Structures are given as structure tokens and as C-alpha cells.
Amino acid sequence: MRALVSHPPTGGAELREVATPPLPPGGVRVRVAEVGVCGTDQEIVAGRYGRVPDGADHLVLGHENLGTVVERAAGVQELTPGDLVVATVRRGCGACRFCAANRSDFCETGRYTERGIWRADGYLAEEYVETPAYLVKVPPSIRGTAVLVEPLSVVEKATEQGFGVLARMNAPSAAPAASPPAALVAGTGAIGMLASLVLRVRGWRVTAIDRHPSGTPAAGVLGAIGARHVDASAGSQALGSDRFELIVEATGSANLDVSLLDLLGPNGTLVLTGIPDPSAAPSVAMGARLRGLVLENQAVVGSVNANRTHFAAAVADLGRFEALWPGVTSRLIGERRPWEEFGDVFARRTPGLVKSVLVVGAAGDPPSLR
């Protein structure tokens, strides 16, 4: 079968023939329909991230996946050929208590694998095999946006972390209904946009900042869901004196991570999801910000990956988004390109284009995916 492979730590990407994996006992075979491309994939192709499976010379790319079950091993009950599925990304280390409890997103040893990223082949192939424990069924009603389930799962975990930290204060529930809590989302890529949707659907007032003037697809979607878009290219002054109870960061800029503390309200929580360059040396002053963090009971929490419960939450939320804002979520998918055009998709970044999707599925898949 064909697969899109990279060669970390060198990087690069090439479409080539690889062995079709045999169906394991208790497993299913999935024909891949489409795969989203994210910053992590760009990093792997650029030679800055990723690791090949032990003993292999290449890594099959792709972790934001959607496909159809085409075959199942004897005894598999949970899934049937024809089912639409999304596979989770991380597989546990087999040694720590979190992995033992199916919560490898909190793996303590760091010896996990991640399909398409770290020591395990991904989903940019005509087919893959997997056990049902790592597959989440998707209703056909959200087929058009289901390739966003994986990045949305990351947002589900990150916001759950933020809500959990805020809950530590056991705040009196006397807040007037007319003033819902205010959240800031930093970055309007897929993670930032999906965070805006998740927060809006939970009743938050949302402001999202990026460095683009209005008129981008992202700004259009923010308007459609009742969120405010602010172009912060000239700095955060554009926000006036606003401070926020919850900030979700989705840029990976170390400088911005630190600066966002200026925008955090008393008792507020800053959730970081972007993965900064390890050599970044923030040039912004830390002292006053750390002092403020202490004096105002603030918290900063990092969040990575997601477990199966977050994938299930993502599936449910995509249905909610569609019911509330019909047709809006699909506007986050800026382009669907045949996977043969991967070179073009990896090579460029179009400002305001939220998500590029590579279409793998053979002719015969519904036209809505093309």
C-alpha cells in the first residue's frame, strides 16, 4: 500500500510503497479517508521533532485521522465494517499507573508512543490496523468535520484542565447570569479556534487574538459564534484593560506564554497548549509577572495529548457545534487536497487558513469528503 513517510530526525516527506499490515487478533482494518495536517507534522517534516518506530528507517506520518472500518478479526463485537472511526494517538508505556488506567496522556515515564509522531506509524497510509480500544466511532451526521476530532480532543483535555484548576477556588456561585466569565484564546489556528468553539458552547464570553486583520476565515468563524476577534499584531493594547479568568494559549511562542500573564485576572488560570522551541529564551521580564502570579493566586498549567474520554467529548461537541451554528465548524477546514499534493501543503502556510486536510480515500468515498 502507499503511505506518506518521513525520516526523523532528518525530516522530509515522501509518498512510497510500504507493507500492508496484517490484521492482528482482536483488531480491525481501517481504510483511511482523510488526515489533517498540523504544526506537529510540519515540525517532523522540518526535522525538528518525531522519532521512527524502534528498528525502522521511516515513520508513517499523520495523526489527525478519519477512516472507515473495512475488516474485523474474529470475535470483534464493538465495530462493524462500514463504521466511521477516529483513532486515538498515544499508546501507553505499559509501566506507569496512568497508562495502566488508560490515561496515557498523563504518562509518567515518557516511554509512550504516539502514532504518526513518536515511535509508532501514523495514519497517512491507505490502511491501518488497530484494536477497538483505541478507536472512537463517529456518527455519519458529523462526517464532514470529523477529521477535527483529534485536535478537538486536545482542546477538550486542555479546557478540562483549565476548568479543573479554576474549580480549586470553589467560587461562590452568586455571579450574576448577565456577566458570564470571560476567556481569552491566544492564537487562531485549529487549536485556538476549536477552543473558542468549546468555550462559547459552554457559555463563556470569548475573545480570540492573533496577528491578522479582520477578514480572515478564522475571524469570520469567530463572528459567527459570537466571539470577539482582536488583531494583536501591534501588541495587547488592543484589548484595553480587559483581564481574563481563563486564557487558553495555542501559539507555541515562549515570549507570548510569559506575556499572557499580564492579561490574566485575579485567581485566573493560563493553560498552555502550544509547544515552544526548546532553545527559546524568553526576552520578556519574568520577575513582575511571577510576583503577580503569587499575589493574585494565579495558575499556569500545561496540557498535551488527550485520552479516549476526550475523543468522545470531541465527537459530542462537534454535534453540538453543528446544532448551534450550522455549517460554521466546516469553515475551519480551509482546503481538502489529494494527498499526492502533500509537498505543497507542507511547504506553505497561508495566513488565516485554519486547517489543511489531505484526502487519502479512494474513489467511492462520498463526494462530501472530496
Binding stretches for ligand BGC (CB under 6 A): 38, 40, 63, 89-90, 114, 117, 150, 154, 304-305
CB nearer ligand BGC, residue 68 or residue 88: 88
Cβ at position 46, least distance to ligand BGC in Å: 14
CB nearer ligand BGC, residue 156 or residue 365: 156
CB nearer ligand BGC, residue 72 or residue 90: 90
Cβ at position 355, least distance to ligand BGC in Å: 12
CB nearer ligand BGC, residue 153 or residue 269: 153
CB nearer ligand BGC, residue 40 or residue 207: 40
Cβ at position 158, least distance to ligand BGC in Å: 11
d(CA 197, CA 325): 10
Cβ at position 275, least distance to ligand BGC in Å: 6
Q: Determine contact, residues 3/124, Cβ cutoff 8 Å.
A: yes
Q: Determine contact, residues 187/147, Cβ cutoff 8 Å.
A: no
> Of the candidates 329, 3, 363, which has an alpha carbon nearest to the alpha carbon of residue 197?
329
3-state SS, residue 226: coil
Q: Determine contact, residues 244/268, Cβ cutoff 8 Å.
A: yes
Kindly give, in sequence order, each residue whose CB lies less than 8 Å from that of residue 330, ignoring residues fewer than 6 positions away. 144, 145
> 215: phi > 0 → left, psi -120 to 50 → alpha, else beta; which?
left
Consecutive H or E run containing 4: strand 2-7
Q: What is the DSSP letter of 22?
A: P
Q: b/e per residue, 287-301, with b = 16+ CB within 10 A? A: eebeeebeeeebbbe
Cβ at position 114, least distance to ligand BGC in Å: 5
Cβ at position 321, least distance to ligand BGC in Å: 19
CB nearer ligand BGC, residue 155 or residue 230: 155
Q: Determine contact, residues 73/40, Cβ cutoff 8 Å.
A: no
CB nearer ligand BGC, residue 39 or residue 265: 39
Cβ at position 312, least distance to ligand BGC in Å: 16
